Amino acid sequence: MALLFAAIGLSSAAHAASPTVTIDSGALSGAEKDGVMSYLGIPYVAPPIGDLRWRAPQPVKAWRGVRQATEFGPVCRQTADWIKLPQSEDCVTLNVWAPARKAARPYPVLIWIHGGAFANGHGGEWGPDGGKSLVQKGVILVSINYRLGVFGFFAHPELSAEAPDHASGNQGFRDQVAALQWVRRNIAAFGGDSGRVTIAGSSAGGSSVAALTVSPLAKGLFQRGIAESGVVGPLPTKATAETAGTALGQALATPHLSDLRKLGAEDLLKQSWRSAPNLDGVVFTEQPQQSFAAGRQNKTPMLLGWNADEGLDLAPAAFGAKIVAAADYERQLQKLFGPQIPPLILAQYPGKTDAQATESTQRLVTDFIGLRHFGWATMQQKAGGPPAYLYYYVHSPAEPSADQPCYYGCKAGHTSEIRFAYGQLWREARRWNADDLALQEQMLGYWTNFVKTGDPNGPGLPKWPMFDGKPDTAQRLGSPTEIRERGAFPDFRQSLDLAAQ
């Protein structure tokens, strides 16, 4: 009998000493360490495999007995070569870290949505102890897997025809909404408050937060949002998304949906695919700007911002090379701005030499990301209602050792802020200095205060003003010296309006 339980992932009486909770689909046995309870690999929808590939999430089947929840579930199928963990289409699971000590008032909840361009990543990226810093601050952490790439953002005319709501694509976002619904139904079992839920993410995770802010399906499922280095722009139409799906089927000589569902995951992953949300009429019914203009967005406080060196990591992908040749610079700019490059762009981002062209592309990408976040915060500020808190992260942390060089997120690069905002310095064996440790305490304080109250401010922290549409009300995050030397950024209301067109 014990072997049977082990084979299906359920525990026997041997695990009775582990912390156990009961949720709507059955009982879970987790683990406890240093006052933190963890429950990993919890299925929150039915496995999207076989005939359920590309369908909207279906209810998870309840289990009998006590299910072990001490290991992460498989990573969703993807092409990232840096992820060595087991992968599967049966991957739609979540993880919970909660205080072992019960409180008189239920704990606020933070739901982490991982990044990775909607094509890569997973909810276990912080490791089995990843929630400890947040839990020590009185916050429950939930991290999620959601369908990615061609499995999470595939639209097709036959898929739209078979769906009761006649929508297709956006499966990854539907998974995220299903996770929010799971939290509403079940988080009380872990000591959490379903009425104090914050969704947070960086990069594509930040874009997910912004997108859910304008999704009718997510209405009322969260009370605050944190979008780091990612918002969402104009959405392509459902017809455009369906055309891409039809083209994929033709390329694989499987034009019909039933044939596509029979293909192995490897066959689909070999094809070039751009993961993107679409205006399907259900998950997204209008462009974000229309939602805010009409006051139909989900009205929640937002904390959002970007990093001073985003372009170090993102410009090579945007321009197709790590080093941009001066001779090719203007041709590359024409891809973004058309045959007539605005003189303002050439003046602010010159490319007379290879070094200058490379540095300009990095600044251009960084400033464009900043423009998008400045614009989103302005959109929320003009709409009235709950406030926006905008940040500009300028900190360059201690470098790793020489035998483990920094290769991504260096300086104030893309995703560099995560380790500070969520108290993750302990995960890296760097010689963290006093500025690093002080900034971690400050940012972790801001973030957890926001999760608890919708306002990042609190005792012992520098005042963070509500964003009022002016650059001066964006909070600079870094050491005093870094803020003084790097805290200025372009006046986005004038200098980069052309880039937004």
β-pairing, 10-11 vs 66-68, is antiparallel
Asked: is 1-300 a CATH 3.40.50.1820 domain? The reply is yes
β-pairing, 302-307 vs 224-228, is parallel
Indicate the SS3 state at residue 416: coil
Residue 395 pLDDT exceeds 50: yes
Torsion of CA 130, 131, 133, 135, to 10 degrees: -170
List pLDDT tens digits, range 182-238: 999 999 999 999 999 999 999 999 999 999 999 999 999 999 999 999 999 999 999
Choosing from 158, 395, 414, 482, which is the catalytic residue? Answer: 414
pLDDT at 15: 37
Task: Kindly report the CATH number that applies to the domain delimited by 306-501.
Answer: 3.40.50.1820
DSSP 28: E
Whole-prediction pTM: 0.93
* Catalytic residue status for 310: yes
β-pairing, 302-307 vs 192-202, is unpaired
* Catalytic residue status for 11: no
Q: Which of 7-16, 346-355, 391-400, 490-499 has the lowest mean pLDDT?
A: 7-16
Report the distance separating Cα 124 and Cα 112, nearest Å.
10
pLDDT at 494: 54
Q: How far is CA 435 from the centre of its chain?
A: 27
Segments of the chain assigned to CATH 3.40.50.1820: 1-300, 306-501
List pLDDT tens digits, range 436-459: 999 999 999 999 999 999 999 999
Mapping DSSP onto H, E and C, the string for 261-309 reads HHCCHHHHHCCCCCCCCCECCCCCCCCHHHHHHHCCCCCCCEEEEEECC
pLDDT at 492: 58
Nearest to 127 by CA among 82, 168, 71: 71
Nearest to 19 by CA among 94, 72, 71, 70: 70
pLDDT at 144: 98
* Catalytic residue status for 203: yes
Choosing from 25, 160, 203, 229, which is the catalytic residue? Answer: 203
Residue 4 pLDDT exceeds 80: no
